[in-house]
Structure 1
Amino acid sequence: MKSSEDSGAGVMSIGTLAARFGLATHVLRHWESKGLLHPGRDAGGRRRYGADDLTRVAIILLSKEAGLGLDTIRSLSATVDRATRHKILRPEAEELRSRIAAARASLELIEGGLNCEYEDVTQCPNYRRLVAEQAVPRVPAHGRA
């Protein structure tokens, strides 16, 4: 028989909440120290987490999975202003687009090696094209070498 603490509908201890997400309790304490969680306390001073905390932990995990850092997550959770949210998320989206482009290029190189019929992968036309593209001199965005 489950206690009301484990039911998911009531108040949970730090251990119960951490276990629900497969986290160590020190992770929740760290997030609290960063201002991401604000658990209530019982008469003995023990942390008590409710449904809102459960939702917040899920949001933190999803945000981290998307590549956002804890400071960015805290900034996002502290704003309800759309313009501020956009100001925070635009550079994150651009960084993610860059990482996706780099991952696609890496996958193209790897798949080229897998599909190459030559013994020496450096003889494959696709591989040579990718190498030639990489060897092109690049001018930094600010115009200086």
Structure 2
Amino acid sequence: MSERFGLASHVLRHWETEGLLSPSRTSSGHRLYSRTDLFRAAAIINAKRAALSLDDIRALLDGGTDGRQARLHHHRDVLARRIVEQQAALDLLDQVLACRHSDPADCPRFRALLAEQVGDGPPPATPATPEEH
């Protein structure tokens, strides 16, 4: 399992301690991961990528519908806000990379992206002309 997912074995043991995985054991005590365990591990990995805590992941995998839905709706809202913020950061970087000004602060398009933070109101609906870029 650790090789399949590129995880350290202590991570899998931790998930087991936390009750997220429960592999069967051989007579000598070695863990045997089932196909269900593989899917649970994949779900945990993807939930961690989405920044869910182990408690949230436990609720996702094992919690009742009410608790699961409430936690996931909350986390979805948080993640959606992060995506918007990250997209704005990406747009800003793309603008600087495309800008011909020696100082991006002199670029009208760059300024438009920052206008709301500066207090100039929302950015204009139409982008600056290519000559201003």
Give me the TM-score of the superposition, normalised by structure 2.
0.80
Q: CA deviation at 1:80?
A: 4.4
Does 1:26 find its partner at 2:26? no
SS in 2 for 1:23: coil
Distance in structure 2 (CA, Å) of the matches to 1:55 and 1:104: 30
Within 5 Å, give how 1:84-95 maps onto structure 2.
84-95=67-78
Distance in structure 1 (CA, Å) of the matches to 2:87 and 2:106: 22
How many residues end up aligned between the 2 structures? 120
Does 1:124 find its partner at 2:107? yes
Within 5 Å, give how 1:1-145 maps onto structure 2.
17-81=1-65, 83-136=66-119
Name structure 1 gaps, 5 residues minimum. 1-16, 138-145
Q: CA deviation at 1:113?
A: 0.9
Give me the TM-score of the superposition, normalised by structure 1.
0.74
Q: CA deviation at 1:66?
A: 2.3
The CA RMSD over aligned residues, in Å, is 1.8
Aligned-pair identity in percent equals 43
Quick check: 2:24–2:33 contact (8 Å CA) kept in 1?
A: yes
Distance in structure 2 (CA, Å) of the matches to 1:31 and 1:24: 11
Quick check: 2:59–2:67 contact (8 Å CA) kept in 1?
A: no
In the TM superposition, structure 1's runs of 4+ consecutive aligned residues that sit over 6 Å from their partners are: none
